[in-house]
Amino acid sequence: MLKGFREFILRGNVLDLAVAVVIGAAFTAVVTAIVTNLINPVISAFFKQSDLSHAMVVTINGSSIKFGAILGALINFLIVAVVVYFVFVFPINKIKERADRLRKKGVVEPDAPVTDLDLLTEIRDLLKAQQAPPTANAGKHADPLP
């Protein structure tokens, strides 16, 4: 039971997920600080409110609808999405495109990580080699009778 748990924890996907959660939490703190200390004061200058959650509030029958809070959440989301795309996704895609171009040219970098495609190609080649018909020399050694 403990061995299975250890294998589960040490599996690459779980470690990647743990790193992503930690980075995400730290990144959320940065975005929150930007919104709280930069965007909210700018918006408060326009709406004369302390922050977005108090701006654009509509009260109907004693219920408050806070459009400013929704706008603040959308701004947070857009900031996170833009930064994640341009800091993580875009550079990684460019690196993958470069590696694919080099791989197609037959140039493989010495420190290039082995990809799933590399492993599948190697497995395919090994299976083809095993299924190939025997050569003429192989048949002569197998038959001991004249």
Domain ranges of the chain: 2-107
Is the pTM here over 0.75, yes or no? no
* Residue pointed to by tokens 């290039």: 112
Report yes or no: 53 and 72 within 8 Å, Cβ to Cβ. Answer: yes
Question: Per residue in 93-145, pLDDT tens?
Answer: 898 888 788 877 876 665 666 677 778 888 888 888 888 776 655 555 555 55
Length of the chain equals 146
> If one looks up domain 2-107 in CATH, what number appears?
1.10.1200.120
Residue 50 DSSP label: S
